[in-house]
Amino acid sequence: MRALYYEEYGDVDVLKLGETRNPDMSDDEVLIRVRAASLNPFDWKLRNGMLRDFFEMDFPITPGRDGCGEIVELGKNVDGMRLEQGQLVSFILSELQHGSMAEFVGVSGNDNVVPAADNLSIQGSAAIPLTGLSAWNAMVDTAQTQAGMRVLIHGGSGGVGSVAIQIAHHFGADIYATCHSANVERVEKLGAHAISYDLEDFTSAVSDCDVVLDTVGGQVHEDSYKVLKKGGRLVYLLARPFNDLSADYDVEDIQVTVFGNTANLVKVIDFARKGIIKPHIGHSLGLDDFDKAFELSESGNAGGKIVLNLDTQAIARPADDTKTTRAPGSL
């Protein structure tokens, strides 16, 4: 089968597009013909070695943590009442080595494969699993967002941040979100008070937050302690700070579990089906354009989610999508 892979850590030049062997499938897995794969910052952070201390990997590695495709075969232990051959599904991969940027992929059929929302395009169905699950597990399971809570979301125009705003808005939170000044209008339309990180310091724009979701890390994480009320929660994904100041500020510092808690994917797709959450596609490209896709993601200027299509050479970015600028490093 045709797949994207790399055999050593490094920049975009280590990526290769070529023939690899088809995936082995266990009785608990679903074999999927991939129609489109989503590119997430996790993919290039893993490829460049930034995450090597967190994940033990064997080469070669195929990137891609989620996507959309058609079921080719069901393992004998997979629930045939919920899934069927030929069905279009959204999926997420917990196993990191064999990713979605390949013609075929074997995926655990328990919680990781969900029938695609019929109101989403193939690209939208590919874009929603990881960002949606990350946002859900952050805002619902970890932050326990409720009506009236004051919530600050960093990277509000990014993949995770934009979905997190929509989820928090649904639950009735008072939402503030950082973004580039070029993206203020879109972030406000999602239901948040926008804070332009290139024009103002967020620590002067909001205070007494019940929850802060950090998708950026570094100094942003450390400064976020200042805007939390006592007992508040600083929730993060891969943005672990060098200095944990939670005890100094009397707040909680909690990392979100994503890959170990995929059962919520059904709820995410249900929210998408009901129109409560919508992914924002910045670029829809062919797999042959993988180098451009990774460079866009790493630049922080992707303008929304990046999707790689495996059944065509290239698909132009949808005309009704609005170009945005993501916070550098945001997820």
Contacts of 229 (CB under 8 A, 6+ apart): 208, 209, 210, 251
Domains of the chain by start residue, with CATH: 2-129+262-309 (3.90.180.10), 132-255 (3.40.50.720)
Instruction: Using alpha carbons, list the distances in angstroms from residue 163 to 4, 22, 60, 199, 300.
Output: 28, 33, 32, 24, 17
**C-alpha–C-alpha distance, residues 111 and 326, integer Å:** 30
Instruction: Using alpha carbons, list the distances in angstroms from residue 159 to 52, 135, 163.
Output: 23, 9, 7
Q: At 271, is the pLDDT very low, low, confident or very high (cuts 50, 70, 90)?
A: very high
Q: Is the peptide bond before 60 cis (omega within 30 degrees of 0)?
A: yes
Report the pLDDT value the prediction gives residue 331, as an integer from 0 to 100: 52
How many residues are given for the chain?
331
Which amino acid is residue 272, in one-letter code? A
**Cβ atoms within 10 A of the Cβ of 83, count?**
16
Residue 167 scores a pLDDT above 80: yes
Q: Which two tokens stand for residue 281?
A: 């596609």
pLDDT in tens, 87-109: 999 999 987 778 999 999 999 88
Report the candidate in 90, 99, 113 with the shortest Cα–Cα distance to residue 3. 99
> Which DSSP string corresponds to 87-104?
-EEEEE-SSSSB-SSBSE
- The average pLDDT across 153-161 equals 93
State the pairing for strand pair 228-236/252-255.
Answer: parallel
Residue 226 scores a pLDDT above 50: yes
Report the candidate in 234, 238, 178 with the shortest Cα–Cα distance to residue 43. 238
- The average pLDDT across 197-217 equals 96
Q: At 314, is the pLDDT very low, low, confident or very high (cuts 50, 70, 90)?
A: very low
Q: Which two tokens stand for residue 239?
A: 């943005």
Report the pLDDT value the prediction gives residue 66, as an integer from 0 to 100: 97
Report the pLDDT value the prediction gives residue 56, as an integer from 0 to 100: 80
Report the pLDDT value the prediction gives residue 329, as an integer from 0 to 100: 44
Strands (E), the chain: 2-5, 16-19, 29-39, 66-74, 88-92, 104-108, 113-115, 150-153, 174-179, 193-196, 209-214, 228-236, 252-255, 281-286, 305-309
Report the pLDDT value the prediction gives residue 312, as an integer from 0 to 100: 59
Proportion of the chain above pLDDT 70, given as a percent:
92
Q: Which residue has the higher pLDDT, 161 or 57?
A: 161
